[in-house]
Copies of this chain bind each other. A is one copy, B any other.
Amino acid sequence: MNTLEIPANGTEGRKSEDSHVDVLIIGAGPTGLMSALWLAEYNLKVRIIDQRGTRALNGKADGLHVRSLEIWESFGLGDIFANNCVPFSQWALWAPNSEGRLSRQKEEPAIGTTGSKFSCGTMHQGNIEATFIDAIKSRSGVQVERGVMPTSIAVDENQVDDPNEYAVKVDLRCVNEAELNTWDVNAHSVQKDGSIKVERGSIDASVVRTDGSDTIPTISGVPGSTETVHAKYVIGADGAHSWVRRQFGFQMEGASHNAQWGVIDVVLNTDFPDFKKHCYILSSVGTVLSVPRENNLTRLYIQLPGSDQDVSPVTGIATAQHMMDSAARIIAPYRLSYSYCDWWTVYKVGQRVSNHFESHQRVFLGGDAVHTHTPKGGQGMNVSVQDAYNLGWKLGGVLKAQLHPSILSTYESERRPIAQLLIDIDTVLAGNLSKREHHATLDVNSVYDKLRDFNSGANICYPPSQLVAPPPQKAPRINLPLGMRIPPFPLVNLASGLPVDLQSLFRSTGQWRLLVFAGDVTNVEQRSRVNALGAALSRKLTAPHSFKAGMPLLEPLLVAWARAQSIELADFDEVFFPLDERTGHDYGRIFVDPPEGREGGRGVSAHVAFEVSVGGGCMMLVRPDQCISWVGGLGDVEGLHGFLGGVFLGVE
């Protein structure tokens, strides 16, 4: 095959300025920004460009799921998102009762019992982006280059086998002011006399920042100027109409639905009691889904009548009023009117997945560029961000020559099935919501259960690969599946006595962790086994400074099935309690898992919950993205080294 060269328009007047980067990110929505955030942990040369002149200024993707919040928590951003989003914890299903009157059929938690400290929530996409932008800037200084578009992309196949080569060539052009994409703002209020007043909308709804930066259209360079970027890797995060995807000729596969839905953010006057919960409202004349938003807004998804004829999103405010009339009919006998609309649109989206997620393991696509679906599950942004969470550390580790470049093939093999799973759920849900039959209530209920597990991360499980061992054929068999994210669980730090969440130990630093479930260490023999493991762990892997200052590439963590009063730090091998002359002892590796469980926990210990034998223990290798990679007995150092040898560079 020859070098892939895809010329495109707009390259006239190109200058000969060439630059070299480790990673070029095309698109600065949540997917691209999440990628940049991850890569900021690795001290690499990264650029991120976007054709638009500002961050998002209207609605779009706004639902935050528990798993996304947990991921952001691992970057130290969990509280910023959690405190600035509008949380919701309850899901209510409304449908006609036996007398035909709309009534609450069911109410249950919007998330499963995952033990997460987070609730689901909603947050203006502009605020999501602003939070990322600030975090990236403070870590690496990288800023989004706005008003910059790619005009051609080419992968040099002769270079793709050498990870040090800048194998991807991308031509960029600064747009002219007239080309600068802007955001449609269609806010309006309804006056007392029924007249409509056009409003500015909450484009600066930023509770995160007050300076308004990234809301003023900007072109980062001389309009019309061009340059050539040579990148080791490219991330295409340029949305549903992805230019990158089209350059490589990837096909979106799947079905398109005819049902047409309106989406609208409104301040309501209503006696319907549940708009601060997440509602599915199924009546005989249609369906409304609702979710609470900032500034006392409610987001409504409204199934529009006459779905076979198009209702254009640009036919003006009458369309918004038409949507709200439909909603009012569905929600009757409750009253429903609105005084202010922040944003609205009409959509008819199919459920599709791209046939490829990458090219030559040099160009990777993520987010809407490779999967689209209806917004009803509030999934889009979350799955997209999680694409980037899966990819970032793999690229970082390869670029830092820590990990075998071959691991990059797992991006597509892990993320494409997840996109397909989501779309399968979404297709069933969309179908059920469009049904007029009464049994639809039951169908919706069962689909919602699946969606809920998906949102918490509890049913996302990557298949066996170079990075996920197959299920062990013999002991230890525990009930944490390989390929799943490590769950939240309350523990106690031995040195401080402070409560600690298990998952919070797995911060996104690029480190792998060896989680040692040490069992009952008050038993002398069991403690000897644990300390023998400690002594056998490769000092090369666990020593500080091998990766970042003070951070080993493999960090050992120990969870002892014991009360804090019954053991002391001095009971354990120093690999679990190392001393650095400059920074002192590391007290952050030994935790107790009290046999009686922790207050606020599940009333059982982690050993019991995860079915780890307290007489045997086990060790669990966890990837930088909190995914469980390998499990073995405390004595299986050989097995551990064998697995790591296939992943880490320089491990025999």
Contact = CB atoms under 8 A, between A and B. Distances in A.
A276 B495 contact: yes
Nearest to A139: B210
Given A90-B497, A107-B497, A273 B569 contact: yes
Given A83-B79, A273-B570, A582 B339 contact: yes
A8 interface: no
A498 B88 contact: yes
A189 B583 CA distance: 11
Contact of A269 (B189, B274, B579): B579
Interface in A461-512: 493, 495-499
Contacts of A380: none
Residue from A119, A270, A340, A495 whose CB has the most chain B CB atoms within 10 Å:
A495
Contacts of A569: 273
A271 interface: yes
Contacts of A296: 583-585, 587
A277 interface: yes
Contacts of A79: 79, 83
A339 B581 contact: yes
A89 interface: yes
Contact of A497 (B89, B270, B499, B568): B89
A138 interface: yes
A346 to B, nearest CB: 24
A267 B583 contact: yes
A583 B339 CA distance: 8
Given A292-B496, A495-B276, A497-B90, A269 B584 contact: yes
Contacts of A582: 189, 267, 339-340
A169 to B, nearest CB: 35
A316 interface: no
A88 B499 CA distance: 10
A600 interface: yes
A192 interface: yes
B497 A277 contact: yes
A236 interface: no
B499 A89 contact: yes
The A interface, classified by DSSP as helix, strand, loop or mixed, is mixed
A647 interface: no
Nearest to A579: B269
A589 to B, nearest CB: 12
A583 B298 CA distance: 11
B89 A496 contact: yes
A501 to B, nearest CB: 13
A543 interface: no
Contacts of A581: 192, 269, 339
A87 interface: yes
A268 interface: yes
Nearest to A568: B273
Given A269-B579, A581-B339, A587 B276 contact: yes
A69 to B, nearest CB: 14
Contacts of A496: 88-90, 276-277, 292
Nearest to A83: B79
B493 A276 contact: yes
A83 B585 CA distance: 22
Q: Which of A268, A296, A493 has the most CB of B within 10 A?
A: A296
Contacts of A107: 497, 565
A498 B87 contact: yes
A350 to B, nearest CB: 33
Contacts of A565: 107
A600 B268 CA distance: 34
Contacts of A493: 276
Contact of A584 (B90, B268, B277, B583): B268
A393 to B, nearest CB: 24
A137 to B, nearest CB: 10
Nearest to A271: B570
Task: Tell me which of A79, A87, A498, A583 has the highest count of chain B C-beta atoms within 10 A of its own C-beta.
Answer: A498
A498 B271 CA distance: 19
Interface of A: 79, 83, 87-90, 107, 119, 138, 189, 192, 210, 267-271, 273-277, 292, 295-296, 339-340, 493, 495-499, 565, 568-570, 579, 581-585, 587, 600
4 smallest beta-carbon distances between A and B, as pairs:
A276-B496, A90-B497, A276-B495, A267-B584
Given A89-B496, A89-B499, A269-B585, 17 more contacts: A87-B498, A88-B498, A89-B497, A90-B497, A107-B565, A267-B582, A267-B583, A268-B584, A269-B584, A270-B585, A273-B495, A273-B570, A276-B587, A277-B496, A292-B496, A295-B583, A339-B581
